[in-house]
Each structure stands twice: as C-alpha cells, then as structure tokens.
Chains A and B, each alone.
Chain A
C-alpha cells in the first residue's frame, strides 16, 4: 500500500453559463484503485470525467497528478504539449463509442502502434510484434492485424480501443461507459477482460457508468452523482448494500433482478 495518491482532486467545478455541470468535487485516487462514478444521464458524470482528464477546462478547482518522477503537477497549469504527451503515454481514455478513440481508416496494428511511436519506438518489426501481442491479449485474432477497425464488430472495436490505450503501460485510465452500447454477452466478455487487465497491470482507473453491475464488478470505490453534486461516496460494497442517501436508495432499488 503506497502512501502517496496518484491524483488529487480539489474543489473541481464546471459551470455552463449559470447551469451546473459539476460542483465542488474532491477526492484522491491511489495507484491500483478503480473508482466508479455513477448516476443517471445528465448528472454530471461525463463533465467531471472530462474535467479530470483535461479534455474540458473546469471553472474552478485543481487536479494534481503525480508524474513518474514523483512530483505533483497541476494539470491545468501545464502546457498544452505536456498535457498531450501525458494523454498519449501515461494515461488512457476509453470512449463509449470506439470510433471516437480509434482511427477508423488505418489498420488495427497501426492503431495500437501509433501510441508506441508517440513514445519514441521506431523499429517497425518490434512495433508490429507488440501490437500483435496486444491484439491477442484483448482476444482479437492476430490475422486481423492489417484490417481496419471499420471491418470490426462493435465488441472488437471496443477491445481494440482498450489495447490501443494500454499498450504504453499507462498508470491511469479514464473510461466513459466502456460497456455501453454493447450487447450483454459481449459486455460480460469485455468486463472480464478489463477486470483481468486492471488487476494484472495494477492500473488506476476512473470509470463512468450508469450500470451498477459494472461498477460492482470493476470498482473498489464509488461516487454517486446527482445534479452535478457528489451525494454519496464510499466503498463500492457499502454504497450498494447500504445506501444512505435518498437518491442512492432509489437508484440502487431500481435495478432489475435477473
């Protein structure tokens, strides 16, 4: 158990004019920890995720990240170039729609290899070998390495997006509804894969989802959002088994039992 967090979030708020996107969010994330942000549509989950990952500038607050040299840097005070470098190497971002995170018109191998080239790999043979290794880790047959993601099914595209993100050995991965829009059998496979990868690689992850089963399976800790505010925050088991807030009780009791 390390004693230094990876990410320190304090007072993050985002306003769209006079409307609240998210308000006064505070938490810390440690290495290897998976945090789920849950809530209904429009509760501010994605706004918060975008603020944390610097895809969106918050109106107020700060997010500090512990760089590989051990020093904390305020993400909003970095140069654009530094932020982009971080995004391409030490971070991953898995979009709900794989088309947002992939280049649809270059091969699967190149999609994975691009991130490697961004960190300085130049040896074509090695890049291809690593790409092929990652395709098999996400259960895509290696004879599809030269095919474009356009020719892949939704589930395969999502797995390719995950491979593309994880190939550089990131320490923090953001995921926006990683299993949304996939059918149930594909979801189960993807979840199991994600769970295994997160455990094996010791990744820290922030996962936005409205699916509480996904949150239970993947996350250690859970934050419940409503109208832009974090209304409940705790151990995932505790929030789901003993919800305290009226809205959380409603949310948890609305799950259909199978």
Chain B
C-alpha cells in the first residue's frame, strides 16, 4: 500500500463539563496523508494541537467528525469510528506509537518491556528477547540495566527503552511523539539512523520533533499544524 495513512476532514474539540461546559476547539478540518517510506513532521508552536493529532490517530482521543483511514492488513480501517477491539488489533499489527514517556509496570525488566510487542504478536520468546537485546545494544543502554525494571532509570535511559519498544516491530505506520527529547547527541544520531532504516523498509512515519537538527535529518516534509488551528480562523 502506497499511502497507509489518510486523514480527512477531522475536527476535534474538548467540552469541559466541569467548567460550565466550555468548548475548547483543538483542530478544525485536518487533511493530510503519509506515504510508505515517508517521514512527515508536524510543525508549529506548542499548544497548536500536534500531540492531539497523534493521540487521535492512535485512538486515545475521540474525534468530533472526519475519518482516519489506516491500511490494516488487506483492508482499510477508520480509526475514528472503529470499535475498541479493532483499534487494539490495528495497534498490535499496524500502528505503532513511541511516546515521550514510558509507562512502567512494576517488576517487568527493561528487556521484557522492549520484547513485549513481539510477545503480543505471538513471536517466540527467545527470538523476541534476542531482537530486544540487539536494539538496546544499538541504543547504548548499559547491559547491566537490561534485567532491571525501568522505573528507576534516568529520563534518557527510559526514553531509549521506549524507542526500542516502539521500533522492535515491523509496524507499517509509526507515530513518534518527541522520541529524542531527552537524549544526548550520540543517541540522537542512533535514533536518526533507525528512522532512516524504517524509511528504507517502507514504514510511514508521522512525528513531532522539537530538536531542529533531528528534524532536518529525518523530515521529508513538514506539515504546519497551525493551518488547522481554530484560533487562526478566529483571528482572521
């Protein structure tokens, strides 16, 4: 599939019932698509709705109107209207997400955290762990940390665990929410190289990168989110 992700006419607002039902518009009429092997970077100032777009695509936020079409296996799924079971199935096989923060589970080792998406897809445990070890090594996470739960790791170490977890599968689409925010220069370069490799494999990526150097290196195209901002419409 040449264009595995198509977003059309998506509207999103929050209704704050606890604040007298104030309606906060987030984005209006969002239209874009991401092709295989392409990395599109969402641009624009803070608070313009970049993260909200990623969360809608991943199913964490509901949308008011519009369609989010994802090529899943040999059919097309509309995330905006899919039932929870379908969304989970799409997440397991097609749609990956690397968030800024790691949600840690007590007692699960870093290696297992990374290997888990492969376990969920039914990959043999030993094979999954080998792949996880390979990624953690590539991201320079000290070997003595692999068997420890990541809750006590530094921000940068947690983020590398998170990246390894997000990149371990062969998902056709990857959403990247500032995956390099707390990394040093060496590891940022490793991530840039990993993104380039995903592109060569034909993965469609949509990301937020505040670091200019990384953005320059990975972006094929920058999508200015302020064009979808309802605030712009009000000001105009």
B194-225 Cβ-contact flags toward A at 8 Å (1 or 0)? 00000000000000000000000000000000
Q: Are A235 and B87 in contact (CB-based, < 8 A)?
A: yes
CB atoms of B59 and A238 under 8 A apart:
yes
Give how many B residues have a beta carbon under 8 Å from the other chain's beta carbons.
22
Is there an interface contact between B18 and A235, defined as CB atoms closer than 8 Å? no
**Residue pair A188, B18 in contact (C-beta under 8 Å):** no
Bound form: Cα–Cα A253–B106 in Å: 24
A189 to chain B, nearest CB (A): 7
- Which residues of A lie under 8 Å from residue B186 when comparing CB positions? none
Q: Looking at the assembled complex, report how far the CB atom of B51 sits from the nearest CB atom of chain A, in whole angstroms.
A: 11
Question: Cβ of B58: which chain A residues have Cβ within 8 Å of it?
Answer: 237
Q: A245: CB under 8 A from chain B?
A: yes
Q: Does B62 contact A (CB under 8 A)?
A: yes
Cβ contacts under 8 Å, B87 to chain A: 235
Docked complex: B38-83 residues within 8 A CB-CB of A = 55, 58-62
Q: How far is the CB of B79 from chain A (nearest CB, A)?
A: 10
When A33-B85, A221-B84, A241-B55 are in contact, do A249 and B18 touch as well, CB less than 8 Å? Answer: yes
Query: Across the two chains, which residue of chain A brings its CB closest to B85?
Result: A30
**A237 adjacent to B59 (CB under 8 Å):** yes
- Residues of the A chain whose Cβ atoms lie less than 8 Å from the Cβ of B60: 235, 237-238, 241-242
CB <8 Å contact, A246 and B61: no
Interface residues of A in 201-258 (CB under 8 A from B): 217, 220-221, 234-238, 241-242, 244-246, 249-250, 253
Residue A1 is within 8 A (CB to CB) of chain B in the complex:
yes
- B61/A238 in contact, CB under 8 A: yes
Asked whether any CB of chain B lies closer than 8 Å to the CB of A192, the reply is yes
Which A residues are in CB contact (< 8 Å) with B15?
A: 244
Please state if B18 and A241 are interface contacts (CB–CB under 8 Å). Answer: no
Which residues on A sit within 8 Å (CB–CB) of B88?
220, 235
Closest to A188 in B: B106
Complex CA gap A235/B89 in Å reads 12
Q: Residues of B contacting A245 with CB < 8 Å?
A: 17
In the complex, residue of chain B having the shortest beta-carbon distance to the beta carbon of A185: B106
Q: Which of B62, B84, B88, B106 has the most CB of A within 10 A?
A: B84
CA distance A6 to B184 in the complex (A): 49
With contacts A30-B85, A33-B85, A192-B107 taken as known, whether A242 is within 8 angstroms of B17 at the C-beta atoms is no
A144→B59 CA distance, assembly (Å):
46
Residues in B neighbouring A188, C-beta threshold 8 A: 106-107
A73 within 8 Å of B (CB atoms): no
Q: Does A84 contact B (CB under 8 A)?
A: no
Q: Name which of A1, A33, A235, A249 has the most chain B CB atoms within 10 A of its CB.
A: A235
| A1 CB contact (under 8 Å) in B17, B85, B120 | B85
Question: CB-CB < 8 A to B2: which residues of A?
Answer: none
Query: In the complex, given contacts A191-B106, A242-B14, what are 5 additional A-B residue pairs having Cβ atoms less than 8 angstroms apart?
Result: A192-B105, A220-B88, A234-B62, A235-B60, A241-B61
- Rank and list the top 10 A-B pairs by shortest CB-CB distance, nearest first: A246-B17, A235-B84, A188-B106, A242-B61, A241-B60, A237-B60, A221-B84, A192-B107, A249-B17, A1-B89
A-B contact pairs, 21 of them (CB 8 A): A1-B89, A188-B106, A188-B107, A189-B106, A195-B105, A220-B84, A221-B84, A221-B85, A235-B60, A235-B87, A236-B84, A238-B59, A238-B61, A241-B61, A242-B55, A242-B61, A242-B62, A244-B15, A245-B17, A249-B18, A250-B17
